[in-house]
Amino acid sequence: MLTEEYRTHVKYSSRRLFLSLPLYIFFFTALFTYSLDILTGDLRLADLMLMAYGGIYIYGLSVGAFGVLGQTYLERRYGKDNFLISMPFLLPVSFRRVFLGMYLRDVIFYSALMLLPAFGGMALGAALSSHSLLSVLAIFLGLLVTFLYGMSTSFLISVLFAIDRRIFLLAVGALIALVAGYGLTGLYGLDLIIPSLGYQLNALPFPADWPSALVYLAVCAALSVLFLGLSLFLVRPGRSIAAGRHREMFLQHLRRFARFPSRTLLAKEFVDIRRSGLIVRMIFAYIVPLVFLSFTTYYVNHGLNIPVGFNAVFYGAMVGFFGVLLYSWMTNTDLNDYYETLPVRVPQVIRVKLMAFFLLTTGVSTIFVIGISMLNNEWQLLWLALVVLYCTTAYMILATAYLTGLNTNSFFFNPTILTKFTAISLLPDLLLTILSFSLQSGAWWALAGILGVCGVLLVMSLYFHRGIERKWGGASFL
């Protein structure tokens, strides 16, 4: 399985480029750790850890979600690739064993690819600066357990999804309620949702209370094992062939999009989105993080009465960045081979996916920004937040589409693409974050700066949009 995973990723770049990804992460985290004090400025260490643990938890959730997309893998077996996920149907191996294998494969593969190089980089950065190596080790341990916890949660929720959609919705609803309850009531801490965060706040580099820290860590590890065990117990040992009847949907969408350009491709895109369950994954990847982010801020601002600078403009920018994961999934719903038999080109399909993305998310993200303005009582910033939202979303998604075409997830393992993507996304993100914080003091130059950045983002979006034809015009769907 590891060999397969490795070769799948190598296929999209080259062995040399793929193997340089851990090096890239190593140097990036080393640089980040070394210049931590300058980069974070007024940001509290606790907030930084909250972001790191929240980020790793969401990363674990997404790796787990990809790992259990067995159905797609099986379909690919009938296409051109034969993945080992189909082993239980060909060889005397139990489904549970293969399922466990998938979990271990993802833990080993992604830890080796991302977490270990990040740890090495942090250690180097700490050694070159005044930070303690023991703190780095404590952070790494916590992040590793958080990653496992995220993956186990995702595996369990995916199994529930396969068993019964109602149980699945119940589980996701409970998770959202837990996050919302934390944000709205403040009756419990975030460590109830991510116990390893409790470990971190009681371990180095914070004043250490090791017995408490270890209890939190043990709880998080035990929950990971419990969720994985439950997944293995509940997973259905058989191929899911849900050959149900489906009512006509394509014609209905064809009529709905009658006035749109490329209406045929757009209608098919929406049928894919609805039937592939992408809406559910969208809830996971897009709406849950947004809800998580909003309630956390609300709680910090109103529950703890700590005035943080995260205003509606900051959120407008953040939403643009969340969209990348959703676009990645939209390019990953099905194989594209059959397009080779039709009078269609790759740039056309990319543009249709972009159109579908904007149709799907604009309403949700607009409601979110309006909601956050309402929660924070920042109506005066709403217009600016919406401008920032639309500009960053267009910029990020067009940049992603330009760089990665129809293989977004795979190309993000190509260090050249990843470097370009980091450069493209990090700079405007930093600028907008800093400028949005400065808005609080009513600085006119912050407003001018934000509008200036938005203008540049729009020009760049136009460049990426035009570049799609140039870059992908000769590409094949195979």
Among 92, 187, 248, 444, binds another protein (CB under 8 A): 248
- Residue 301 lies near another protein (rule: CB under 8 A): no
Considering the complex, what minimum distance in angstroms separates the CB of residue 349 from another protein?
A: 11
The Cα–Cα gap between 35 and 131 comes to 11
The Cα–Cα gap between 31 and 25 comes to 10
- Residue 271 lies near another protein (rule: CB under 8 A): yes
- Residue 254 lies near another protein (rule: CB under 8 A): yes
- Residue 268 lies near another protein (rule: CB under 8 A): yes
Residue range at the interface with another protein (CB under 8 A); choices 105-113, 189-197, 248-256, 391-399: 248-256
Residue range at the interface with another protein (CB under 8 A); choices 84-92, 212-220, 245-253, 399-407: 245-253
Residue range at the interface with another protein (CB under 8 A); choices 15-23, 93-101, 267-275, 299-307: 267-275
**CB closer to another protein out of 149 and 339:** 339
The Cα–Cα gap between 466 and 446 comes to 30
Considering the complex, what minimum distance in angstroms separates the CB of residue 97 from another protein?
A: 25
Considering the complex, what minimum distance in angstroms separates the CB of residue 249 from another protein?
A: 7
Considering the complex, what minimum distance in angstroms separates the CB of residue 234 from another protein?
A: 24
Considering the complex, what minimum distance in angstroms separates the CB of residue 121 from another protein?
A: 34
CA distances to 12, 84, 105, 106, 339 from 5, in Å: 12, 10, 8, 9, 26
Considering the complex, what minimum distance in angstroms separates the CB of residue 28 from another protein?
A: 32
**CB closer to another protein out of 180 and 344:** 344
Residue 90, C-beta contacts closer than 8 angstroms, at least 6 positions apart: none
- Residue 275 lies near another protein (rule: CB under 8 A): yes
**CB closer to another protein out of 105 and 268:** 268
The number of residues making up the chain comes to 478
The Cα–Cα gap between 362 and 293 comes to 18
- Residue 96 lies near another protein (rule: CB under 8 A): no
- Residue 333 lies near another protein (rule: CB under 8 A): yes
Residue type, 248: E
Considering the complex, what minimum distance in angstroms separates the CB of residue 351 from another protein?
A: 14
The Cα–Cα gap between 311 and 389 comes to 13
Among 104, 128, 222, 342, binds another protein (CB under 8 A): 342
Other Cβ atoms within 10 Å of 160 Cβ, number:
20
Considering the complex, what minimum distance in angstroms separates the CB of residue 225 from another protein?
A: 34
Considering the complex, what minimum distance in angstroms separates the CB of residue 339 from another protein?
A: 9
Q: Which of residues 55-84 bind another protein (CB under 8 A)?
A: 75, 78-80
Question: What is the torsional sign of CA 81, 86, 92, 94?
Answer: positive
Instruction: Give residue 41's region: left, alpha or beta (phi > 0; psi -120 to 50).
Output: left
Note if the bond before 211 is cis, omega within 30 degrees. no
- Residue 261 lies near another protein (rule: CB under 8 A): no
The Cα–Cα gap between 337 and 266 comes to 17
Task: Find how far residue 64's CA is from the centre of its chain.
Answer: 11
Residue range at the interface with another protein (CB under 8 A); choices 93-101, 184-192, 246-254, 364-372: 246-254
DSSP 150-200: HHHHHHHHHHHHHH-HHHHHHHHHHHHHHHHHHHHH-SS-GGGTSHHHHHH
Residue range at the interface with another protein (CB under 8 A); choices 235-243, 317-325, 408-416, 453-461: 235-243
- Residue 100 lies near another protein (rule: CB under 8 A): no
Answer whether 347's CB lies under 8 Å from 468's CB. yes
The Cα–Cα gap between 441 and 433 comes to 14
Considering the complex, what minimum distance in angstroms separates the CB of residue 335 from another protein?
A: 6
Residue 10, C-beta contacts closer than 8 angstroms, at least 6 positions apart: 18
Among 169, 249, 288, 456, binds another protein (CB under 8 A): 249
Among 38, 91, 187, 243, binds another protein (CB under 8 A): 243
The two three-digit tokens of residue 168, written as one number: 């699945």
- Residue 259 lies near another protein (rule: CB under 8 A): no
Residue type, 122: M
Residue 30, C-beta contacts closer than 8 angstroms, at least 6 positions apart: 120, 121, 122, 124, 125, 128
Answer whether 378's CB lies under 8 Å from 309's CB. no
CA atoms within 13 A on the CB side of 79: 14
Among 89, 188, 210, 338, binds another protein (CB under 8 A): 338
- Residue 238 lies near another protein (rule: CB under 8 A): no
Considering the complex, what minimum distance in angstroms separates the CB of residue 323 from another protein?
A: 22
Applying CB under 8 A, the residues found at the interface with another protein are: 75, 78-80, 241-243, 245-251, 254, 264-265, 268, 271-272, 275-276, 333-335, 337-338, 340-345, 474, 476-478
